[in-house]
Amino acid sequence: MAGAFLKEQSLGRILAGHPWVYSSDVLKVEKAPEDGGEILVRTPDGGYVGNGFYNSKSRIPIRILSRSKEKLDADFFRRRILEARTLRADPELPNACRLVWSEADFLPGLVVDRYDDALVMQTLTLAMDQRKDEIAGVLREVFNSELIVERNDVTSRQFEGLTSRKGVLLGDAKMAKRAITLGRAKFEVDLLEGQKTGSYLDQIGHHMMVGARCTGRRVLDCFTYHGGFALHAALGGATVVEALDISEDAITACRRNAELNGVTNIKWKAANVFDELNARLRAKESFDLVVLDPPSFTKSRAKLPEALRGYKEIHLRALKLLSPGGLLATFCCSHHVDAETFRAVALDAAFDARKILRLRQTFSQPPDHPVIPSIPETEYLKGFLFQVV
């Protein structure tokens, strides 16, 4: 089989478990395979490191999938997918969760989300994309799925020479719009048109935890998307809830979701959170619990200072809006901002707002988004529940 020999200085990271082999890690490639084909990864003197997939056009020409000399065929995918399912079936498989998460499940380039009996798949590397139908076949067999949707409308695919696409791989496209229970609330999701694969599955547990703190409180949910925190706040006994998102479509979906849950005490508004928080401050409004769950303000390390200014700004405004004893549930989904940095930003904002914070709870990634510490890119979601004292 084709083989790639690694440079001595690159061995440590890769032997520790990181699956990415950059061009600069490679000493030489012998008998290079076709793009998308299998390749053996070796130490500089020829020792075995792993079996991977090759794409000469990528910045990361090799991704390692196995470290035990197995063929990367349909049986391999079945074994890995079953392992991923076992990991999440503790004690039982959630009706909605991320079933396969790329590097964190040792299947770099493959993402699979479950929405009841429907699956949404992303194949983000050339090799995974070439094996899309084979993998869909395994998924259908393992999960007995009625619908498998492909959400390959992801910009990162361009780095692999792939185009953007979405569609139905199995089943009837009409079933892509569906009602589903996520946590304690019902949602209408659209697996073909929604953001990400239809929902933010990584926040379901946090919706429930924060919702449980909302009894008797006036709540403001910023960056609500389809109302995850707002609906759980209302169901958790909040007196009034206001929720903001810049997307009109998202707010329309929120209104339908409120109806679906028989909830009537939420005021939805399509607005820019930065401006809206200022307007509320000017109007001298106050809330007892504010949720901040913005999109990632940076996808690159280069933009970090700018992103941190953005995070600080929303914290400053949110903290000023809180009543004495009020709670701030704040989340950050940027891989480039680690938990310590994020906490420091909140603290910095609290200093400027002349508020002292008590840390009530720390949030991290749920079990269906596992972290592999030797693959730092698998760690991204962090959050805190602060109380102003």
Which residues here bind ligand SAH, judged by CB under 6 A?
Answer: 195, 200, 203, 223-225, 228-229, 244-247, 250, 272-274, 293-295
Q: In angstroms, what is the minimal distance from the CB of 271 to ligand SAH?
A: 6
159 versus 274: smaller Cβ distance to ligand SAH = 274
Catalytically active residues are 333
85 versus 226: smaller Cβ distance to ligand SAH = 226
Distances, alpha carbon 279 to alpha carbons 145, 242, 282, 284, 385, in Å: 47, 14, 5, 9, 24
Give the orientation angle of helix 204-211 with respect to helix 228-235, to 10 degrees: 30
221 versus 379: smaller Cβ distance to ligand SAH = 221
Q: In angstroms, what is the minimal distance from the CB of 217 to ligand SAH?
A: 17
Side-chain half-sphere CA neighbours of 60 within 13 A: 20
Q: In angstroms, what is the minimal distance from the CB of 290 to ligand SAH?
A: 12
SS (H, E, C) 70-126: CCCCHHHHHHHHHHHHHHHCCCCCCCEEEEEEHHHHCCCCEEEEEECCEEEEEECCH
Q: In angstroms, what is the minimal distance from the CB of 274 to ligand SAH?
A: 6
b/e per residue 285-313 (b: at least 16 CB within 10 A): ebbbbbbbbbeebbeeeeeeeebbeebbb
140 versus 369: smaller Cβ distance to ligand SAH = 369
Q: How far apart, in whole angstroms, are the C-alpha atoms of residue 225 and residue 232?
A: 13
